[in-house]
């Protein structure tokens, strides 16, 4: 689709900012920096490697292929054995010393269960003089799914689907998953003890809560079985949860099952968790790119809450920016409580809500925005997200779409496609939550 010259320039600038952000959180680049001691949180890793009798590697998540390749490239024959759990559709990374397993995301599958048990077997085989390097990225929660005793994979799938559909944020979903798991909530660290473990983490969680990223397999968990019960009830999922899930959580809350591991547990004596990259890493790089392009940068508050409400709030916030060449940036993770049968994702829904608000209230401002997932995958679609402009709604209307109907049906994908405002990148190989960039140039 052809766009007016000013809009075409703005869209190109928005895409340039997105690319700068993604480049900054390239998993291989971050792993090399960590292994070379260029990331403060990981400076102790090289002495750990040098002191270890045997080095094993576990890599899991959407960025696992690149992270595993970087580990092999730097450590070579120092790696005694290892596992890389990569997405089902990812290209084969052609690893030599690390075995490749594939697993499903965002809903776990049989391969996720197999991969989790393989990871636990690897950890259980370690001795006190050994080192386990764990490289985690977004998606690891679903890709390492080892149901606890009395829980089946099907039980976990039902609960995960219900929480996703209810719009539960990742922290709440992972509170539940940790209390139905044999590997999450610090249990991988317990399996590896007394060996030392060093986790290199590419965070997809705003705030970098170690207990939430990948459901915290090597981190203390402050949440409880009672918290998991509360999440299911608050989200209206408790009555639809399988009976074994309700029974397990209630018995856990009554003290009949061991809790997830808490701070101070002996299993964490030899554990180090290091964040090597996150949403802020991406936004800082985008900000530098915006300044280089001549924009004045405004950093907005974290993206959170329902995508519908957030889109309207972003429109108001951007419309209030001063006139001139200004770029607003933000990151985070909105949620969508799905009530319709349309097609889309949280970034697309947020972009459409913003476009509708611009058209209704702020069309006098020259606003161009982009909301997109850093992994290049927004919901069950082939788009990373969408553009929001003052012309989006009008272009879609000319093709027979109305914003109100699309928002009600949760059908942002089809409207944005009709307007020429879908943003497609393909999988980026990284994941640090969602990115928002907006340009005003008037």
pLDDT in tens, 385-427: 999 999 999 999 999 999 999 999 999 999 999 999 999 999 9
Output the average pLDDT for the chain: 96
Q: Name the pTM for this structure.
A: 0.94
- Collect all residues with Cβ–Cβ distance below 8 Å to 365 and sequence separation of at least 6: 318, 319, 358, 390, 440, 442
Q: Are strands 325-332 and 367-373 parallel, antiparallel or unpaired?
A: unpaired
Distance CA 1, CA 403 (A): 19
Helix (H) or strand (E) holding 24, with range, is helix 5-24
Angle at 156 between CA 120 and CA 268, to 5 degrees: 35
Question: What mean pLDDT comes out for the span 207-229?
Answer: 97
CATH topology match: 5-21+280-441 vs 26-146+181-223+260-276: no
Q: Residue 312 pLDDT more than 90?
A: yes
Q: Residue 442 pLDDT more than 90?
A: no
Report domain extents, the chain: 5-21+280-441, 26-146+181-223+260-276
Domain 5-21+280-441 class in CATH: alpha beta
Distance CA 432, CA 342 (A): 26
Q: Residue 1 pLDDT more than 90?
A: no
Question: What mean pLDDT comes out for the span 286-295?
Answer: 98
Whether the bond between 381 and the residue before it is cis, its omega within 30 degrees of 0, is: no
Distance CA 307, CA 134 (A): 33
The pLDDT value given to residue 2:
82
Q: What CATH topology corresponds to 26-146+181-223+260-276?
A: Rossmann fold (3.40.50)
pLDDT band, very low/low/confident/very high, at 155 (cuts 50, 70, 90): very high
Place of tokens 């993206």: 303
Question: What mean pLDDT comes out for the span 100-126?
Answer: 97
Place of tokens 């611009």: 358
Of 268, 231, 234, give the one whose Cα is nearest residue 249: 231
With beta carbons less than 8 A apart as the criterion, state whether 435 and 374 touch: yes
As beta bridge partners, residue 169 has none
The sign one gets for the Cα dihedral 84, 89, 95, 99 is positive
């Amino acid at each position: 689709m052809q766009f007016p010259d000013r809009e075409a320039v703005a869209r190109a600038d928005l895409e340039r900012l997105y690319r700068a952000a993604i480049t900054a959180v390239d998993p291989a680049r971050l792993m090399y920096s960590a292994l070379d001691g260029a990331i403060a949180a990981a400076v102790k890793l090289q002495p750990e490697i040098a002191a270890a009798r045997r080095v094993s590697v576990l890599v899991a998540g959407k960025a696992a292929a690149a992270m595993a390749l970087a580990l092999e490239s730097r450590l070579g024959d120092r790696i005694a054995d290892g596992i890389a759990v990569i997405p089902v559709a990812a290209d084969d990374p052609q690893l030599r010393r690390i075995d490749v397993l594939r697993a499903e995301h965002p809903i776990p599958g049989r391969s996720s269960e197999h991969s989790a048990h393989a990871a636990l077997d690897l950890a259980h085989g370690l001795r006190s003089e050994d080192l386990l390097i764990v490289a985690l990225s977004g998606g690891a929660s679903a890709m390492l799914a080892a149901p606890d005793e009395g829980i089946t994979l099907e039980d976990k799938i039902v609960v995960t689907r219900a929480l996703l559909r209810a719009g539960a944020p990742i922290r709440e979903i992972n509170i539940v998953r940790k209390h139905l798991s044999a590997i999450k909530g610090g249990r991988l660290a317990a399996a590896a003890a007394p060996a030392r473990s060093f986790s290199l983490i590419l965070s997809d969680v705003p705030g970098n809560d170690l207990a939430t990223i990948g459901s915290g397999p090597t981190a203390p968990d402050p949440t409880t079985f009672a918290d998991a019960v509360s999440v299911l009830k608050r989200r209206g999922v408790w009555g639809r949860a399988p009976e074994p899930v309700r029974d397990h959580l209630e018995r856990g809350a009554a003290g009949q099952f061991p809790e997830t591991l808490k701070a101070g547990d002996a299993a964490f004596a030899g554990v180090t968790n290091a964040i090597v990259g996150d949403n802020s890493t991406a936004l800082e790089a985008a900000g530098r790119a915006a300044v280089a392009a001549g924009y004045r940068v405004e950093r907005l508050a974290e993206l959170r809450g329902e995508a519908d409400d957030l889109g309207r709030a972003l429109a108001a916030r951007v419309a209030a920016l001063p006139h001139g060449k200004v770029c607003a940036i933000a990151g985070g993770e909105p949620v969508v409580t799905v009530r319709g049968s349309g097609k889309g994702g949280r970034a697309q829904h947020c972009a459409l809500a913003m476009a509708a608000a611009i058209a209704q209230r702020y069309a006098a401002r020259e606003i161009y925005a982009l909301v997109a997932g850093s992994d290049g995958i927004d919901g069950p679609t082939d788009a990373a997200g969408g553009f929001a402009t003052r012309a989006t709604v009008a272009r879609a209307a000319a093709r027979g779409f109305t914003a109100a109907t699309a928002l009600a049906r949760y059908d942002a994908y089809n409207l944005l496609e009709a307007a020429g405002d879908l943003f497609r990148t393909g999988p980026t190989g990284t994941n640090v939550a969602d990115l928002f960039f907006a340009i005003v140039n008037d």
